[in-house]
Amino acid sequence: MTVAAPIPPAVVSPALRRARRSARFQRFGTAKGVAGALTTASLLVPAELLLRGLGGSGKARLPWLFHRGLARSLGIRILLHGKPARRHRVLFVVNHLSWADIPVLGAHIHAAFVAKSEVSGWGAVGWLATLARTVYVERSRRSSTGVQRDAIGERLSNGESVILFPEGTNSDGVEVLPFKSSLFSVADGLDDVLIQPVTLAYTRVNGLPVTRERLPDLAWIGETELFPHALAFMALGRVRAEILFHPAVRASDFADRKALARHCEDAVSNGYRKLMRG
């Protein structure tokens, strides 16, 4: 009986090697994601306490390091198109798909997120959000709109950058939802603040293009519980996220707030269709 000779390592194509790595990650992705998040957090806790005691300016880098470590442990490969306008006094307006948007964006943008107030009570997630100086808002109360605007505007006035999700909620990933022009009021009177539209898309899973059938596994929508969805996300395997930075503008470049919101929505929407087409 003739035994076939094994394929030399040099003959194995890069695509096959990537497929094998994806398969291995898919088998152990959930365990790796949880272990990676816990390990990264366990390292950041003493570092945060040390910097707090010393008054260190490096404290702002801790959430950025956590996001990078978490994204890697979740099996997310991030592909960038362009780059952030600058590190200070920028309002980044981004479409919103999933809880995974936070580590993906946080790994490459030094800015505070805007989140609903309930997030502060979400255990370790709330601790990290507070550490990142998240701007908490009461989205369920219309009367708090002015307070929210002032809180975000104060951060921008103090030289910080902020990441805003102008859809007001996360979409199902099929298309970008309409931007709420009222949220752009945070830039009123801040002529030196740059506004940069940013498109975020999850385009591939284990090397294969994302289809409509796969979108529910990636987008976090409806009444889906966070923890079960996170576990299912980790079990997918290798996920490619792409971030497209559009040219930055100023509020004074537009006739009014609605025109500014429409410009940003068009840029993000067109970018999303482009990324999803590959």
Q: Closest by alpha carbon to 127, among 49, 71, 196, 194? A: 49
* Residue indicated by tokens 């442990």: 73
What would the pLDDT profile of 260-270 be if each residue is shown by its tens digit? 999 999 999 99
Confidence of residue 175 (pLDDT cuts 50, 70, 90): very high
Q: What value does the mean pLDDT take over residues 61-81?
A: 85
What would the pLDDT profile of 131-151 be if each residue is shown by its tens digit? 667 888 776 555 556 777 788
User: Per residue in 243-276, is it b (16+ CB within 10 Å) or e — as a string?
Assistant: bbbbebbebeebeebeebbebbbebbbebbeebb
Q: Give the rounded percent of residues in the chain with a pLDDT score beyond 70.
A: 72
Overall pTM surpassing 0.75 (yes/no)? yes
For residue 79 the two structure tokens come to 């592909």
Judge whether 71 and 103 are in contact, CB under 8 Å: yes
Q: Which of residues 42 and 211 earns the better pLDDT score? A: 211
Q: Which of residues 154 and 248 earns the better pLDDT score? A: 248
Confidence of residue 45 (pLDDT cuts 50, 70, 90): low
What would the pLDDT profile of 205-249 be if each residue is shown by its tens digit? 999 999 999 998 999 876 778 778 888 888 888 999 999 999 999
Q: Would you give the DSSP letter of residue 7?
A: P
Q: What value does the mean pLDDT take over residues 117-142?
A: 71
Confidence of residue 119 (pLDDT cuts 50, 70, 90): confident
What would the pLDDT profile of 160-169 be if each residue is shown by its tens digit? 999 999 998 8
- Rounded mean pLDDT of the chain? 80
Does pLDDT of 54 surpass 50? no
Q: Which domains are present in the chain?
A: 14-277 (3.40.1130)
Confidence of residue 8 (pLDDT cuts 50, 70, 90): low
What is the rounded distance in angstroms from the CA atom of residue 63 to the CA atom of residue 69?
A: 10
* Residue indicated by tokens 């470590």: 69
